[in-house]
Amino acid sequence: MAMKRSAPKSCIPCRDRKRKCDRATPSCSLCYRLGRVCGYPPISPSRSRASSETSNLHQVNLHQNGDPFSNTDDPSNRDIHHVITDRLSKAVGNISEIRAVSKIYFSTIHHWLPVISESLFYERLCMIFLRPRADHSLLCMGMALINLTPPAPDDFAQKELFESLYTLVKTSVAILEAADLNSIEVVQARLLVTLFEVGHGLSTAGYISMAALARAAATLGINETINASSSPKCEEGLRVWWGIVMLDRFITIERGSGLCATEGLGSPQHLPRDSNVWDQKIIDSLDPLPMSTPSSVRVGPFARQAQISHVTNLLINHLRAATTLGLDSEESDQLARTLLSFSMLFPEETPQPWPRYCGAIGMCYSSLMMLHKSRLPSPLSTEFLELTFNRMSSVSCKFNARIDQVDVRAISPFPPHSLHLVALVQDELWRETWDPKRKEDREEFIRMLRFFGRRWGNAGKYMATLEKQINDIPA
């Protein structure tokens, strides 16, 4: 390999791995020998743009085999790539700062929503300013956005950052949409934006974004390839579509009515594989587990959440049918049994189900509480309700006992909905019976809800509603 002049600094892969780099261009000797992507940090984003044609870096085409989920390679989109990457540079910073943002994301949100390949992300990151791609830059901004926590009421600087970054990412999505630019990374970014809106109580924005997100994925055909093959690329599409379906069904349950945005667009027939296997790009030769896999079979956290999502969809259809045909009590009982059987699995699968099982737990109990709200009182429905209370009380007590050990940044925004509902019901029962156990349970749920309010704005809004009811009576 003919080497030209040396780069001023070690390449990013060698620096990250603390290996000696000879700084040769277009690729250092070690990267060349290992067959990996070699890239050098730019002196500044402006210089990297100006030297895009004469850069001495190893320009590797990451999509040389063709990406079935992208239309971003059109040369006419070149200006858009620079515009969005400029926005990323100004909002987040240089490549080291972007790497710090992504590190937080993969150690928190990725635990319970593993829809982005960590290895592929970092392969592309080293070229982000040298070969700007609007979709990858948008995804980085989406990560920075979802990492934000609600600002304190008197922290005006953080509030301005919170609102300005949200506006910047939303307008960037609109720019790409107007340019007819779409890819799986754009869809992943849209998913993070929608999750941000749902998690911080921007319910109208989240509901609208959910519909656009589902259509953006369908435009790429992600929903049509989810059951096609077991390649790493198709597995990524499957996981992205599962993430969309889960969030969509949670939004529908939280709203209490309406159709899912993914209705009629296809439902996965297989569970996602183990996250560690997929993230290391190791897809085993065995077929993935089917959707019908019994709850007694041990599966990963994301696959368990997929199973809960499937039952949630059955509940949504059940409640919708009840508006015209009346509620089928036998079907309601079966749904309650299924959800309760899943609820028994979470503590058994891991002593500390937070945060990996946090999303599944939240969706499971939201479904149980919404099922309770739809039913007329009966001995069996009351029995199921008390079982739900007992399970949720057990979870909240265990959670609160080790609340200082929980990484608040890594928890899902799904549990606050069910915590709010069960605390309201327990408060009503306490007022009716003056049973001190009802009040004790209510306080445990409130403590847990307050903790979630440190991470997600929706918990704060639910807490305000709950406090209003509680303050209506003597404490």
The Cα 187–Cα 250 span in angstroms is 18
Cis status, amide bond into 26, omega within 30 of 0: yes
Q: Per-residue pLDDT for 144 more than 60? A: yes
Query: Cα(429)–Cα(432) distance, rounded to whole angstroms?
Result: 5
- The mean pLDDT of the chain is 83
| Secondary structure of residue 183 in the 3-state scheme | strand
pLDDT at 62: 29
pLDDT in tens, 311-348: 999 999 998 888 777 778 899 999 999 999 988 887 64
What is the Cα–Cα distance from 459 to 96, expressed in whole angstroms?
32
Phi, psi of 267 (to 5 degrees): -120, 135
Cβ atoms within 10 Å, residue 228: 12
On whether the CB atoms of residues 278 and 239 are closer than 8 A, the answer is yes
Query: What is the mean pLDDT of the segment spanning 440-448?
Result: 95
Mean pLDDT value of segment 72-80: 61
The mean per-residue pLDDT over the stretch 196-222 comes to 95
For helices 301-325 and 232-255, give the axis angle rounded to 10 degrees.
Answer: 40
Cα 306 from chain centroid (whole Å): 13
Neighbours of 440 (CB within 10 A): 13
d(CA 357, CA 365): 12
Residue 408 has pLDDT above 80, yes or no: yes
pLDDT, position 109: 95
Encoded tokens for 392: 């949720």
Furthest CA-CA distance within the chain: 84
Question: What is the percentage of the chain residues whose pLDDT exceeds 70?
Answer: 83
Q: In the numeric block, which tokens belong to residue 444?
A: 């445990």
Q: Which residues 6+ apart lie within 8 Å of 357 measured at CB?
A: 112, 301, 304, 305, 346, 349, 350
How far is residue 260's CA from residue 211's CA, in Å, rounded to a whole number?
Answer: 9
| Confidence grade of residue 378 (pLDDT, cut at 50, 70, 90) | confident
pTM for the complete prediction?
A: 0.82
Token digits of residue 74: 């059109």
> Is residue 454 predicted with pLDDT exceeding 70?
yes
How far, rounded to the nearest angstrom, does the alpha carbon of residue 316 sit from its chain's CA centroid? 21
Task: Give the list of residues 6+ apart from residue 231 with CB closer than 8 angstroms, or none.
Answer: 283
Express each pLDDT in 35-46 by its tens digit.
Answer: 666 777 764 444
Is the pLDDT at 16 greater than 50? The verdict is yes
